[in-house]
Amino acid sequence: MESYLISQFLVLAAAHFFAVASPGPDFAVVIKQSINLGRRNAIYTSIGVGSAILVHVAYSALGIALLLQQSPWLFTALKYLCAAYLVYIGIKSLRAKPSNDDGAIEVVVDAASETFVRSFKLGFITNVLNPKATLFFLSIFSVVVAASTPNIWLGAYALYLSLATAAWFCLVSMIFSQQGVRRKFLALGHYFDWLMGVILILLALKVALF
């Protein structure tokens, strides 16, 4: 086993840890799901985020990331697309209405009606369109991952990064969906939705102006 491959993996794993742990659109969306819809749906969204990592690794390994780097207009289009999607999610949160006495029941009903596909798709699309993730993998595959890296190792990297990302956000889901934590946020009712809406729109502006 080549020592450079082990060193390469360790650098990749360390860089990924700091990147995935930093707050961003994925983090905001998973917390929103955790509070509003509970642990199960948040975990579905986390799996979607982790699965999207495979897309980033695939286009980076194929050299498509270089096309993004050499085509500023294409990367700009990606940024605006991501920003528009975050604004869309944010506006949906801002449109939340004050809950009545049956607010807790409504949350349970909403959580039950939220399918795996919808929750998964939310996480998947949020991460795929995240230019922060694009820049991360562009940098990693340009600086850290050698062009001579065997395909089997690239596959192992992809699997690790996907599983590690999903595991991290599943942990976030479990923390923020705990009854005590969730109850405190739900006590804010629609104010929490409005707050998340503002945060998502601010993240959209940050992405668009990056």
What's the CA gap between 132 and 126, in Å, rounded?
A: 11
Asked if residue 110 belongs to a domain, the reply is: yes
In angstroms, the CA 98 to CA 116 distance is 26
**Cα atoms found within 13 Å of the Cα of residue 182, Cβ hemisphere only:** 22
Spatial distance between the Cα atoms of 96 and 195, rounded to a whole number of angstroms: 11
Would 83 be classed as within a structural domain?
Answer: yes
Domain assignment of residue 10, yes or no: no
Taking the C-alpha atoms of residue 67 and residue 70, their distance in angstroms, rounded to an integer, is 5
Whether 3 is covered by a domain: the verdict is: no
Give pTM, 2 decimals: 0.80
Burial (Cβ within 10 Å: 0-12, 13-18, ≥19) of residue 152: exposed
CA-CA distance, 126 to 116, in Å (whole number)? 16
Considering the domain boundaries, does residue 4 fall inside one? no
Q: pLDDT 10s digit of each residue in the chain, 210 long? A: 577 788 888 888 888 888 888 888 999 999 999 998 889 999 999 999 999 999 988 888 776 656 666 677 777 887 888 788 888 888 888 876 665 544 444 454 455 556 788 999 999 999 998 888 888 887 777 777 777 788 888 888 889 999 999 999 999 999 999 988 888 877 776 777 788 888 888 888 887 776
82 CB neighbour count, 10 Å cutoff:
26
Containing structural domain, residue 170 = 28-209
Is residue 152 in a domain?
A: yes
Contact 35, 193 (CB under 8 A): no
Residue 21 counted as domain residue: no
191 in a domain, yes or no? yes
Amino acid identity of residue 201, one-letter, is: I
Q: How many distinct structural domains can be found in the chain? A: 1
